[in-house]
Structure 1
């Protein structure tokens, strides 16, 4: 058993998104995704925002 060292990543990647919105797909989730895209656009950063709706993947 390893006590120290790198932890294995449990998160499944959906792509190369820098920002990921985690939620079931409700109106608030979509509003947050739109706000994140707008904020990234104002900062001049690439607008790569992912949206994970699978609760098993979120957990």
Structure 2
């Protein structure tokens, strides 16, 4: 992973987070240079949500 690819990834993540908050893009047209990370991130987030729900149900 080079510095340029990391910068592109950070721009992509920043715009994705801003969109979730209803804010305008800061880096229009930013694309994910690591498309395989999209599936990994979704799985990771789903696992965190599942753990949170299980901890609530156990209480």
The answer to whether TM tops 0.5 is no
Which structure would you say has the larger RCO, counting Cα contacts within 8 Å and 6 or more residues apart?
A: 1
Q: Indicate the structure with greater strand content.
A: 1
Q: TM-score, normalised by structure 1?
A: 0.38
